[in-house]
Amino acid sequence: MSETGTPQMRAVSQDTAGGPEVLKVITTDRPVPGPTEILVRVHAAGVNPTDWKTRGGGRFLDGSSEQPFILGFDVSGVVEAVGLGVTLFAPGDQVFGMPRFPHPAGTYAEYVTAPARHFAHLPAGLDHVHGAALPLAALTAWQALVDTADVQPGARVLIHAAAGGVGHLAVQIAKSRGAYVIGTARKAKHEFLRDLGADELVDYTEQDFATAVRDVDLVFDTIGGDYVARSLRTLRPGGSLVSIVPPDDTFPTDQAREAGVRTAFVLVEPDRSGLQAVADLVNAGKLRVNVETAVPLEDAAKAHALGETGRTTGKIVLTVAP
């Protein structure tokens, strides 16, 4: 309790932009759920590239930059209280979600409040560490492959950085749709990806995927840069390239048009129906999330340093409550 009697909580905050060292544990007021919101006791919080990009730039994607702020979007935990009008959940329910994105959500904390419809029930048998690893990455893959590209059975799908946080889930989601999946990844990760169902793999350190792969229906780009223009050479006329990397002045719009290729940029959104679809795949044994490491909340800086190496297989998670 604070001196005024307000319940307190621990959180990881920053009061300046910078490297992982700017992250520190603070004590702050516990939030209170407003109408249509739930209060979640956080058991685990996922770590994503958008977190360390926000930390380093001192600014969220929506432009919010008021310091200090609390990072984090992925969360898995237990409903502590519900606000006025909430009927989907009750105290004690286990939930997971990606609330408020791209606006600040503050899940690197012991408690978080957010709209009830930004959550879904945690899949049966899934622990909170794996629940926290799912939402942002799985929703990104789902919204790109299903909502945007509408992957159909038999489609040839090329997934870049296939062993990454988004990529390894995209492989499984594409396979669940009946696609033939080709992934780019270092050779050391090929066995992992074959176990997830990948049909064909290219070691980008030894072979140029743009010459090794042909006649794909969809490229799912998670890297950007010159990968976009090179990926166009792998697509059949009428194919699609869906990217989660914001296009810049180098984006080959004219080249794509001349090649008869459709392009789209996807920014993930909170999506209860998408979360439920992801949960259904987990419950059906068709989707599993790989957690490379889980560290305590107070070690958030270590988690960021690891994530920024770009070498993780799957996800990194912060553990908050037992």
Percent of the chain with pLDDT over 70: 99
- pTM comes to 0.96
For 59-99, write each residue's pLDDT tens digit: 999 999 998 999 999 999 999 999 999 999 999 999 999 99
pLDDT value at residue 3: 62
Reply yes or no on whether the pLDDT at 229 is more than 80: yes
For 133-155, write each residue's pLDDT tens digit: 999 999 999 999 999 999 999 99
- d(C-alpha 59, C-alpha 162), whole Å: 28
Sorting pLDDT into bands at 50, 70 and 90, what band is 6? confident
CA quadruple 187, 193, 194, 195: dihedral sign: positive
pLDDT value at residue 2: 61
Determine which helix (DSSP H) or strand (DSSP E) holds 277, and give its type and residue range.
Answer: helix 272-283
Cβ–Cβ < 8 Å for 237, 261: yes
Reply yes or no on whether the pLDDT at 4 is more than 70: no
Sorting pLDDT into bands at 50, 70 and 90, what band is 179? very high
Cβ–Cβ < 8 Å for 97, 119: yes
- Mean per-residue pLDDT, 176-196: 98
What's the DSSP call for residue 309?
A: T
For 302-318, write each residue's pLDDT tens digit: 999 999 998 899 999 99
Determine which helix (DSSP H) or strand (DSSP E) holds 137, and give its type and residue range.
Answer: helix 135-142
Determine which helix (DSSP H) or strand (DSSP E) holds 128, and give its type and residue range.
Answer: helix 128-133
Which positions ≥6 away from 38 have C-beta within 8 Å? 79, 80, 81, 82, 83, 86, 89, 95, 113, 114, 116, 119
For 282-291, write each residue's pLDDT tens digit: 999 999 999 9
* Residue-level length of the chain: 322
The string over 34-55, giving b where at least 16 C-beta atoms fall within 10 Å of a residue's C-beta and e elsewhere, is: eebbbbbbbbbbbbbbbbbebb
For 254-269, write each residue's pLDDT tens digit: 889 998 999 999 999 9
Q: Kindly provide the residue ranges of all beta strands, DSSP E only, lying in the chain, ordered along the sequence.
A: 8-14, 24-29, 37-47, 69-70, 75-82, 94-97, 111-115, 119-121, 156-159, 180-184, 200-202, 216-221, 235-243, 262-265, 291-296, 315-319
Reply yes or no on whether the pLDDT at 5 is more than 80: no
Reply yes or no on whether the pLDDT at 182 is more than 70: yes
Taken in order of first residue, the domains within the chain and their CATH numbers are 8-134+289-319 (3.90.180.10), 137-265 (3.40.50.720)
